[in-house]
A = this chain, B = another copy of it.
Amino acid sequence: MDSQAVSAEQAPSTAERILDAAEDLFAEKGYSATSLGEVADRVGIRSPSLYNHFKNKEALYEAVLERLLADFSAPLSELEGGQVTNERIIFWLETIVRQHHANPNLARLLQHAALSGGPHTNALIDRLFRPMFEPRAEIEGQSISLFENTGLQPWAVMAFNNLVMSYVTMAPMYRDLLGQDPFSEEALEKQLALIKTLLKAVFEYKGS
């Protein structure tokens, strides 16, 4: 009865609460191992009621993906909106790391998709990764791809993607091994320090 919030923030709609619960579960268990009954349980409704908000399981999954992609696509677009300098690559990578720490679900979902497939996997690849690997659209006459001058592109792109993604997807094990929260502020700083060091090493790499 006292739950009628008068504050500035709206109480989330049922559809939003479904998306929240489904995002966590899809990220943890993957598409096929996630049951609509469990999603409904977390929201506090019965599973057939989900169909008032989403056409079916696949549509719910697609909506979860769409919401995540909207957040995570921004940084790369911004990077490509100007000259790609080493400094801006560092800044871009740092932004991405912070984003994954703030919400680890996209990385987890992507990892499930890479391992097991599932609906819309190709769309995921195209929208999240393809832009990093393809030669960039020409800007000011020059066509540069990330890390191009190191001679190890696209392996360097994969390597740094691996660093960021696997930290997130392995976090439950690391939590156990470290005895501390892998998403704490200190942990984030340590990971960033290491990644920046490695990034500089790649910038200076001229071939063995």
Contacts and interface: CB of A to CB of B under 8 A. Distances in A.
Interface of A: 27-30, 32-33, 108, 110-117, 122, 125, 129-130, 133, 152, 154-156, 158-159, 161-163, 165-167, 169-174, 176-178, 190-191, 193-198, 200-202, 205, 208
Nearest to A133: B177
Contacts of A196: 208
B162 A166 contact: yes
Contact of A159 (B156, B169, B172, B194): B194
Of A115, A167, A190, most B-chain CB atoms within 10 Å: A115
A161 B190 CA distance: 16
Given A112-B115, A177-B154, A159 B170 contact: no
Given A115-B111, A115-B112, A177-B129, A156 B194 contact: yes
A187 to B, nearest CB: 8
B114 A152 contact: no
Q: Is the interface of A mostly helix, strand, loop or mixed?
A: helix
A162 B173 contact: no
Contact of A115 (B30, B176, B178, B202): B30
A1 to B, nearest CB: 38
Contacts of A167: 158-159, 162
Given A125-B173, A162-B170, A155 B194 contact: yes
Contacts of A163: 159, 162-163, 166
A130 B165 contact: no
Contact of A178 (B154, B172, B174): B154
A178 to B, nearest CB: 7
